[in-house]
């Protein structure tokens, strides 16, 4: 007389390797008596559809971390529609949002499409969608809400003032390059870091995002004394440190990284990078804010933080890639022992160690390799609060949302050789616990949100990069202030460009 359990298919979409959140959702659903079919990572749409049919699942959940995954989710929705399926589609992952789901994904699929903010919402959402009594009303409620979201999104775009690219460039950040402090790197060129240990990185861990990954909300370390979740947070931290102790003692996790420092200058919104012998070895392309600013506020681009060629001064630019190896194998061992908790804990700690490695290496660069802050002496709290000179923005993040810039960065540093790091077809980094970025040293260098981009900048950017406008629009889809002329076609694949010097 036992009732049949509802089945939920979970998958990280094609081109993406991140699955911590998906794995937590799987455990939560499993603990609530749902049968979970987890297809893993890098799963193409055709495999998702085939498995959904074969196992007659009641709901499909797709996730991803990097922004190109958003386009792949649209492709999955279109394929479900083309196949005439009616299985509800759940959308999750760090870069997803209710707005993107409502505007881009839901219109592609006539069955229910629901953005799931976090694992705690997965159970009530799935419960409503698989219930004969609740599904229609729940789906109608979500559809009405998403229609309002689309209306607000369209209204906001109509009222937003976007400057022509020429006007935005005329309002660039004005820096005094005659007086700017420029320190030549002490150790120019590429420097591998193969002797860094877990013990070296532990003091640099920022624990705040670790607890967020486990959906324990609150500011660390105050969270440990929270009346509601403090006991759970302390237990989680104890378990994390015990696993780090074991990883350290047994060599289970291996940090590998590489940094490079090069002569450079800005050429408009591009950054020209040179070897010690004066040979041009790379070009990085930056994007400029185009929204109208209040008087006195500039329209910034990352290129503004490097001396322009016309200044007559030789500046420098840095780059880095850091990875934590061994986490996938260790997590697989835990799963083989039916220990999902420690498998997810391993992945979460690997991510924290990768970020700690980026923090550790940046400090080494500032004090030693570049040497523009030789007397720096900062606490971990100072580092978390970024109380140091310089920034390390990463491709795919707010100041430069274009993941294709990773191609030039990885090539410049020979990241595969020196850090054991690679790129998927959608430019997710492997292993998953990998961080990359550029180093800027100007005292006024700061992070910023690029904001929406106009067609004139996209066309200019495509020309500078030697890419088709349509391809750039696909890579930068979430940042566009306009609707592209034609929707992406084909199998959802996104072709990264070959890095050009």
Active site residue 122: no
For residue 308, what is the DSSP state? B
Residue at token pair 């991140």: 18
Residue at token pair 């509601």: 228
- Token pair, residue 10, equals 């979970």
Catalytic residue among 63, 69, 122, 323: 69
Over the range 164-178, which residues count as b (16 or more CB within 10 Å of their CB) and which as e? ebeebbebbbebebe
- Token pair, residue 276, equals 């010690």
Question: Peptide bond preceding 251: is omega within 30 degrees of 0, i.e. cis?
Answer: no
3-state secondary structure of 86: coil
Active site residue 16: yes
Cα 263 to Cα 363: distance, rounded to the nearest angstrom: 20
Nearest to 465 by CA among 403, 374, 382, 393: 403
Segment holding 326, helix H or strand E: none
Residue at token pair 């910023």: 448
Catalytic residue among 18, 115, 265, 426: 18
Distance of CA 302 to the CA centre of its chain: 18
Active site residue 69: yes
Residues counted in the chain:
501
Question: Peptide bond preceding 246: is omega within 30 degrees of 0, i.e. cis?
Answer: no
Segment holding 268, helix H or strand E: none
For residue 120, what is the DSSP state? H
Q: In this structure, what are the phi and psi dihedrals at residue 457, rounded to the nearest 5 degrees?
A: -70, -40
Cα 421 to Cα 324: distance, rounded to the nearest angstrom: 9
Known catalytic residues?
Answer: 16, 18, 69
């Amino acid at each position: 007389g036992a009732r049949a359990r509802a089945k939920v298919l979970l998958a990280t979409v094609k081109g993406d390797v991140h699955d911590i959140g998906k794995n937590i959702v799987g455990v939560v659903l499993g603990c609530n008596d749902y049968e979970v079919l987890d297809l893993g990572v890098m799963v193409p749409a055709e495999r998702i559809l085939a498995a959904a049919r074969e196992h007659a699942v009641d709901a499909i959940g797709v996730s991803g971390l990097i922004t190109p995954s958003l386009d792949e989710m649209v492709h999955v929705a279109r394929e479900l529609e083309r196949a005439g399926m009616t299985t509800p589609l759940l959308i999750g992952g760090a870069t997803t949002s209710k707005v993107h789901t409502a505007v881009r994904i839901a219109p592609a699929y006539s069955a229910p499409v629901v953005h799931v903010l976090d694992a705690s919402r997965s159970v009530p959402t799935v419960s409503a969608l698989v219930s004969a009594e609740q599904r229609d009303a729940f789906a109608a409620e979500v559809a009405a809400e998403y229609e309002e979201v689309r209306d607000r999104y369209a209204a906001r775009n109509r009222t937003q003032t976007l400057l022509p690219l020429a006007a935005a460039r005329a309002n660039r950040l004005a820096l005094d390059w005659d007086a700017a402090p420029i320190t030549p790197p002490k150790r120019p060129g590429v420097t591998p870091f193969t002797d860094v240990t877990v013990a070296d990185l532990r003091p640099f861990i920022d624990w705040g995002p670790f607890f967020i990954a486990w959906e324990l909300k609150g500011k660390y370390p105050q969270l440990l004394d929270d009346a509601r979740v403090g006991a759970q947070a302390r237990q989680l931290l104890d378990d994390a440190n015990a696993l780090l102790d074991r990883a350290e003692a047994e060599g289970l996790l291996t940090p590998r990284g590489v940094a490079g420092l090069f002569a450079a200058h800005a050429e408009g919104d591009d950054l020209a990078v040179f070897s010690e012998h004066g040979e041009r070895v790379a070009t990085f392309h930056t994007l400029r804010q185009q929204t109208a600013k209040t008087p006195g506020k500039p329209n910034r681009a990352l290129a503004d933080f490097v001396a322009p060629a016309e200044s007559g001064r030789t500046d420098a630019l840095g780059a880095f890639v850091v990875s934590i190896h061994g986490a996938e194998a260790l997590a697989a061992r835990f799963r083989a022992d039916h220990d999902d908790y420690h498998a997810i804990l391993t992945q979460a700690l690997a991510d924290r160690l990768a970020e700690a490695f980026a923090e550790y290496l940046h400090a080494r660069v500032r004090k030693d390799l570049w040497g523009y802050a030789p007397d720096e002496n900062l606490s971990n709290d100072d580092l978390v609060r970024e109380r140091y000179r310089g920034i390390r923005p990463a491709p795919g993040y707010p100041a430069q949302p274009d993941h294709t810039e990773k191609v030039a960065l990885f090539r410049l540093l020979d990241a595969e050789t020196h850090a054991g790091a690679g790129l998927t077809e959608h430019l997710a980094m492997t292993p998953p616990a990998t961080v990359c970025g550029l180093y800027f040293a100007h005292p006024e260098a700061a992070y910023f949100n690029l904001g929406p981009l106009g067609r004139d900048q996209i066309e200019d950017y495509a020309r500078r990069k030697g890419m088709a406008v349509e391809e750039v629009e696909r890579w930068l889809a979430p940042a566009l202030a306009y609707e592209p002329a034609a929707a992406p076609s084909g199998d959802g694949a996104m072709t990264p460009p070959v890095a050009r010097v």
